[in-house]
Amino acid sequence: MTSVKMQHYSHKVGVNVHHLEWCTKYRYSMLKQDKYKKVCEDSIRKQAERHNMIIRELFVMPEHIHVSCELPLSMSQSKALQLLKGGSSYLLFRQQPKFRLRYPRGHFWSPGAYAGSVGYNKVDVVDDYIRNQEDIHQRRLSEFTGSPAPSEARSCEQQRAIL
């Protein structure tokens, strides 16, 4: 179990942990090779360190990224995504000029993203989820505890009858 440290500022005390996820533009699998995954991971970590973010967990999939991070209390989710996506894209294009062949306009990441705040009690659950991404992408939604998905395939009429 990993611990979460309270952040202390002059007039604030708290924890600001978030689960962030974003995709490559057009969902191209640009990060299949280990060398590209490593470059991407390093660029995200570098940007996080530069902007005082603490990366708790980071997992790079071929076409998307999962990050669990602690943000400064004054930073919003959208600002964190802007800094991580923009800065990592800039570093990726500098370190891998071949990526410009796929993305000539310099937009490596898609414009959308997922950002969810993580409660103090659920930090470990989210960290485990990110840590085990390869296994999770092979599982069905109904295998997760508390999932609203039916355990077996049902028709729409059967689901309405249950409700």
pLDDT tens sequence across 85-118: 999 999 999 999 999 999 999 999 999 999 999 8
pLDDT tens sequence across 33-73: 999 999 999 999 999 999 999 999 999 999 999 999 999 98
pLDDT tens sequence across 17-36: 999 999 999 999 999 999 99
C-alpha 110/C-alpha 97 separation (Å) is 19
Q: Is the pLDDT assigned to residue 154 strictly greater than 90? A: no
- Residues forming a β-bridge with 68: 19, 57
Residue whose pair of structure tokens reads 């004054």 in the numeric block? 74
Between 131 and 24, the more confident residue is: 24
Write the DSSP string, 21-72: EEEBGGG--TT-SHHHHHHHHHHHHHHHHHTT-EEEEEEE-SSEEEEEEEPP
Please enumerate in sequence order all residues whose Cβ is within 8 A of that of 142, keeping only pairs 6 or more positions apart, or say none: 149, 150, 151, 152
In degrees, to the nearest 5, what angle opens at C-alpha 141 toward C-alphas 139 and 144?
A: 85
Domain ranges of the chain: 7-162
Greatest CA separation for the chain: 57
Q: Tell which CATH architecture fits domain 7-162.
A: 2-Layer Sandwich (3.30)
Query: What would the mean pLDDT of 71-84 be, rounded to a whole number?
Result: 94
Please enumerate in sequence order all residues whose Cβ is within 8 A of that of 26, keeping only pairs 6 or more positions apart, or say none: 110
Q: Of 141, 134, 116, give the one whose Cα is nearest residue 64.
A: 134
